[in-house]
Structure 1
Amino acid sequence: MSGSSTTTGMPDELRRRLGVSDAVVIGLGSMIGAGIFAALAPAARAAGSGLLISLALAAVVAYCNATSSARLAARYPASGGTYVYGRERLGDFWGYLAGWAFVVGKTASCAAMALTVGSYAWPGQAHAVAVAAVVALTCVNYAGVQKSALLTRAIVAVVLAVLVALVVAALASGTGDAARLDIDSDATVGGVLQAAGLLFFAFAGYARIATLGEEVLDPARTIPRAIPIALGITLGVYAVVAISVLSVLGPQGLAESAAPLSDAARASDADWLVPVVRVGAAVAALGSLLALILGVSRTTLAMARDRHLPHVLAAVHPRFAVPHRAEVLVGAVVAVVAATADVRGAIGFSSFGVLVYYAVANASAWTLTPGEGRPHRLIPAAGLAGCLVLAFALPLSSALTGTAVIALGAAVYGLRRALTQHPAS
């Protein structure tokens, strides 16, 4: 059934070209990106010496979400991720709400990553560099997903090399102190939860694998393998880097740092590594931006197919086999935001939207039967509860803005339904 339809290349379908290694690399490019360079300091500010607890908590929630997403993606291997799962398992509204939360949250995240590129590469012209980065990566995605996977592979290799160099320098310098890893009374429950919500921003990239479900070879086998592999590698890298930086700077020094990995290099008497870390941060943000634009455009494609967004965005390019109109629109919106806005608060807003998205994913996974590959019931239950707790533990401004935008999306859905219902139906 699926073999002939996917190989003949229907004009509105994407081509299955990505194997396990490509899917893992795209997930790594989304996760091992600017998050590790940018999220540690605000998380340390919230959690204090409880930072590593927050990292572990974010990883547990991410694991539950990843497991639920992998089981659902294997059963529904189509572009759109939780937008599709929510629609199929919970109903049209919940699928729409997940898609809305993903698109608005990740569009903000795209702008944040673009500005991260600008702030590291050329601080005096951060907005101009951000716009140029968005335009360049939109063109790369337009040329085809295989080229995107190839570029992401190179970016991941560069970032990992930089992080390995930093960890080795920190651990070999003699300036590290294991006592700085101790948990003190400054670690509160609220602070630890808020930091976990902020750190979740850096883990959320495995969604890119699920949203590429229509372009993955043998999705029932590839997606459940690729998601936990990418998440496990990312957790290992984040834990080692966080421990190394904490041992050198301590919780207070990390919380006060504007560029913690650069400061960790200086504190490790490795000044030569500082410009390397700056380049690594810019490259990492490019990797995240590349994969983010890829994922948002695929969810936009799926929602446009169902006419929750303008149907003209459902077009797939006949030569490059990509949703070219959706990619151009996403790139244009992100470029405008990156050119005009200060999006430091976008990390919290993006985390809220993505946590809502995964709450729907876990609720959808709960409805799977054993024959459909349902995970142990504890996993979607813990994932759903964790998403909601972390979402509302975020800074108040992020939670309030996120709630308002989600409510706006729900109102738009209700208005559209009211306008399009026909007596004949």
Structure 2
Amino acid sequence: MNTSTASAGTDELKRRLSVFDAVVIGLGSMIGAGIFAAPAPAAAAAGSGLLLGLGLAAVVAYCNATSSARLAGRYPESGGTYVYGRERLGDFWGYLAGWGFVVGKTASCAAMSLTVGSYVWPGQTHAVAVAAVVALTALNYTGLHKSAWLTRVIVAFVLAVLAAVVTACIGGGTADAGRLAIGADATVGGVLQAAGLLFFAFAGYARIATLGEEVRDPHRTIRRAIPLALAITLLVYAAVAVTVLAVLGPDRLAHTAAPLAEAARAAGVPGLAPVVRAGAAVAALGSLLALILGVSRTTLAMARDRHLPHVLATVHPRFKVPHRAEAAVGAVVAVLAATTDVRGAIGFSSFGVLAYYAIANAAAWTLTANEGRPPRIVPGAGLAGCLLLAFALPSASVVSGTAVIAAGAAAYGVRTVLGRARS
């Protein structure tokens, strides 16, 4: 098994992040633009079973988070499940996890940047999206401490906007608990698809694990930060979902492009809608910032093992960040933001991320009791849940996601054969 780690000297990242910083970065990843948009397609899939879908997504996310936290405490390196799969299951599975993460989350970066553009300046969506990518890549390049500080500001603002929406809806007197009842429109397939779509919004706790080389006392910090960030996010999402569903009902919710703004109008507070738009734009910026951080760290780890060009494995001598990996990721995302459409990106990303966490759960299954293994039911349920939700996604997402994962596996096979031929 390949057990390479960060080399000494200029290739080492600096440990700066506390538990609070790590939790904030996780919140910045999870409490993002998804909460402003995801309830609508989820309601379209599940109808009155929306809350069941949210609960199922939360259960799978909990299993994934627990497995990731235990693994991250044992392997505090940049790369997350790429490292865990490599160390516990073999080089191929680590590579496949890293491939799924980098490809899927690069699509997420493009989607988030386009979300920023659509809220800030709808007529110039692509131009604003590219500008956002360039600006946040430059910020990440100058050091993680500044990125963590900006994420704190973003998280505080978004939480304030969400609290205002929930308070306005409850105080408006238009909420009806009867709209929360599960009706005949809630099918098993619909609930599963909704859970897969909503899982996209929970997946940000991976960002904490992928920053394993940059947190202080990683064994303690990561194992505390991941469940804390997930618990806070679940509480926020549950409050928003219950409130919006009670105000709009499943049918009206399914047919609105901006569910939180629509809920504010329905509650008799139309003046809150522009604030919601600002909150959505800021949330998308926070998600984009954290996504670029996570993808660049996994790129760094894969480049160290030469699964990606080794030139991307260097760390800036002054800022102590993987500056070449960040620049490469930023360039690819900028091109995608300038040329692609946001439609389909969520489903495609969810498929790749669910594959990534399936490998994380399989890796956690191999831990021994002395290594801090969680109860076996946790990684077992997580693995089964990831596979179930991945293949319950819309067919286009399943086909494209399967094709990209297969292409990555084929590339690994070709590289292995060529390497053996040279030796």
- Which amino acid letter does the alignment assign opposite residue 310 of structure 2? H
- TM superposition shift of 1:315: 0.8
**1:314 partner letter:** A
CA distance in 2, matches of 1:42, 1:198: 8
Q: Give me the whole-angstrom Cα distance separating, in 1, the residues matched to 2:346 and 2:60.
A: 18
Residue 229 of structure 2 aligns to which amino acid in structure 1?
A: A
Structure 1 segment 300-379 matched on structure 2, within 5 A: 300-379=299-378
Secondary structure of the residue that 2:9 maps to in structure 1? coil
Q: How does 1:132-171 map to 2 (within 5 A)?
A: 132-171=131-170
Write the distance in 2 (CA, Å) between the matches of 1:48 and 1:128: 36
The answer as to whether partners of 1:58 and 1:199 remain within 8 angstroms in 2 is yes
| Distance in 2 of aligned mates of 1:22 and 1:32 | 15
The Cα offsets for residues 175-232 of structure 1, whole Å up to 9 and x where unpaired, read as 1111010100000000000000000000000000000000010000000000000000
Q: Secondary structure at the match of 2:268?
A: coil
CA RMSD, 1 decimal? 1.2
**How far does residue 9 in structure 1 lie from its aligned partner after superposition?**
6.9
2:30 paired with 1:31: yes
Q: How many Å separate the matches in 1 of 2:205 and 2:420?
A: 36
Contact 1:355 1:391 in 2 (8 A): yes
Q: Deviations over 1:303-358 (max 9, x none)?
A: 00000000000010000000001001100100110111112200000000000000
Q: Which amino acid aligns with 2:266?
A: A
* Aligned residue identity for 2:107: A
Query: Could you tell me whether the CA contact under 8 Å between 1:9 and 1:15 is conserved in 2?
Result: no
> Partners of 1:325 and 1:384 in 2: how far apart?
33
* Distance (Å, rounded) in 1 between the aligned partners of 2:422 and 2:246: 67
Query: TM-score if structure 2 supplies the norm length?
Result: 0.98
Aligned to 1:177: 176
- Pairwise mapping of residues 191-206 of structure 1 onto structure 2 (< 5 A)? 191-206=190-205
Contact 1:25 1:149 in 2 (8 A): yes
Secondary structure of the corresponding residue to residue 228 of structure 2:
helix
Amino-acid identity (%): 78
Residue 79 (structure 2) aligns with: 80
Matched residue count: 419
Structure 2 portions without partners, runs of 5+: none
**1:219 matches 2:207:** no
Matched AA of 2:395: L
Match of 2:276 in 1: 277
The DSSP-based 3-state class of the residue aligned with 2:312 is helix
Q: State the alpha-carbon separation in 1 of the partners of residues 125 and 36 from structure 2.
A: 17
For residue 393 of structure 1, what is the amino acid of its counterpart? Answer: A
Structural mapping, 1:283-294, within 5 Å: 283-294=282-293
Write the deviation string for residues 148-200 of structure 1: whole angstroms up to 9, x where unpaired.
00000000000000000000000000011110101000000000000000000
**Structure 1 residue 88, shift from structure 2 partner:** 0.1
Unaligned runs of 5+ residues in structure 1 are none
Describe the SS at the equivalent of 1:11: helix
- Equivalent in the alignment of 1:14: 13
- Tell me, in whole angstroms, the C-alpha distance in 2 between the residues paired with 1:397 and 1:134: 27
**Secondary structure at 1:344's aligned position in 2?**
coil
Q: Counterpart amino acid of 1:265?
A: A
> In structure 1, what residue type is equivalent to 2:284?
A
Residue in structure 2 matched with residue 250 of structure 1 by the alignment: 249
